[in-house]
Amino acid sequence: MLDIKLIRQNPEAIKKKIKTKEASVEAAIDTVLSLDSQIREIKTKVEHLKSARNEMSDQIGLLKRKGEDTSVLLTKVSGLGEEIHHLDHALTPLEEEFTHVLAGIPNLPMDDIKVSECPKDNVQIKEYLQKPVFTFSTKNHVELNEKLQLFDFKRGAKISGTGWPVYRGMGARLEWALINYMIETHIKNGFEQWIPPILVRKETVFGSGQLPKFENQQFKINDEDYHLYLIPTAEVPLNGLHADEVLDEEELPLKYIAYTPCFRREAGAAGSNERGLIRMHQFNKVEMFCFTTPEDSMQLFDQMMASAEEVLQGLELHYRNMLLVTGDMSFASARTIDIEVWLPGQDRYYEVSSVSNCTDYQARRSSTRFKKKGGRPEFVHTLNGSGLATSRLMVALLENNQQPDGSVKIPLVLQKYLGGVTHLTPKD
């Protein structure tokens, strides 16, 4: 969440910033300031009443020691207690509404981010290799799969519905090879591996910024015993690892990775170009997540970008880095760069990694702080990045490495995980 002190100091400047990211939320600034004013007024009144009650209680003690009548003061103290109780009762719904409204305001974009609502205005800041040139008629990954038999979309739909694929044979092995290759790359680059739960509490989902705004995009379990959410990304449990903790500055930065399946309600059918593995309800991802000081967060951002890019460079895939405009950034992010690979079968680029600096936005929601020697606790900065999502990466591997005979060349870095297999070959 944003710092309410920052909003109080310059509400118009905050409104201007928020408008560049999500114009519909601008009015929430006035609402949250009004609620903040009411809450502070009630709290001030309660403090005065408690002070008065304490003074009267001291007077009652003196009168009792002198053996004098205390009935009048006792009546007044009782009346003050009832008034305090009434104000405390009125404060609870105001504080709940305040938190709800403040939680619905996105993070502020950094000053150098281009202002636009249109993703077409995203700024290309890097390109690696060139688009592959084919001398034969190419196929998309769904067409290639008809002979390669790497996935079974029909049986996946039979088991769970559209958007839940089944990996089989070499498809399952190649998926696992990708995951292992990515984990090894990030560990080499100083990240510590975790295996978090994929079902988490509501408070954990809130802490990462997924709630309340994205409630309708989550899969969840609600019964008499469990009220848990399936994670949309490992960012959610990794962010929650240090909730309500105060870390020592010497511990930072903390650089974590985790492989998990991810679950999202987003539509699985948006036209023929998004069939197959392009957009699914369940997919695999290796996630990078960092906790650091505000002074070092941009340095960590660059390290995460480099580690994600190293994965793609090892796979010899053409990609581009796009600095997102204000209106295309994620809710909790202050700065985001998407890494997009070229998918020949779709004739367009698709994001396979998104690296974001969330500054102290998530830390405020999760109450994750650090302390410098002799200093007071302050909020950490959190950063997250796909390192990477495998589904579209699988598509990129298949479509960019396809051969005239329908086989697919396996990148050298993956062959050791597949027992030396160099090509996926069509089955009769």
Q: Examine the residue annotation and report whether 351 is marked as an active-site residue of this protein.
A: yes
Distance CA 347, CA 171 (A): 23
- Which of 184, 377, 190, 185 is closest to 299 using CA atoms? 190
Alpha-carbon distances of 111 from 14, 24, 115, 363, 382, rounded to whole Å: 12, 20, 10, 20, 18
Region for 129 from its dihedrals, namely left if φ exceeds 0, alpha if ψ lies in -120 to 50, beta otherwise: left
- Are 102 and 312 within 8 A, CB to CB? no
Q: Examine the residue annotation and report whether 201 is marked as an active-site residue of this protein.
A: no
Distance CA 6, CA 12 (A): 11
Task: Supply the angle between the helices 390-400 and 169-188 in degrees, to the nearest 10.
Answer: 110
Question: What is the edge-to-edge ordering of all strands in the sheet holding 192-194?
Answer: 123-128, 319-323, 335-343, 348-357, 381-389, 282-292, 254-263, 192-194
Please report which helix (H) or strand (E) contains residue 28, including its range: helix 26-66
Residues 6+ apart with CB under 8 A from 268: 162, 163, 274, 279, 280, 281
Q: Examine the residue annotation and report whether 264 is marked as an active-site residue of this protein.
A: yes
Q: What are residue 409's DSSP bridge partners?
A: 423
Tokens of 94: 């105001």
Distance CA 236, CA 241 (A): 9
Residues 6+ apart with CB under 8 A from 103: 1, 206, 211, 212, 213, 365
Choosing from 184, 274, 351, 378, the catalytic residue is 351
Choosing from 264, 335, 364, 365, the catalytic residue is 264
Tokens of 14: 């905050």
The 10 Å CB-count burial string (b at 16+, else e) for 72-97 is: eeeeebeebeeebeeeeeebeeeeee
Q: Examine the residue annotation and report whether 369 is marked as an active-site residue of this protein.
A: no
Q: Examine the residue annotation and report whether 392 is marked as an active-site residue of this protein.
A: yes
Distance CA 424, CA 94 (A): 61
Distance CA 170, CA 236 (A): 31
- Are 325 and 318 within 8 A, CB to CB? no
Choosing from 173, 279, 365, 369, the catalytic residue is 279
Distance CA 69, CA 87 (A): 30
Cα 277 versus chain centre, distance: 22
Would you say how long the chain is, in residues? 428
Active-site residue list: 264, 279, 351, 354, 392
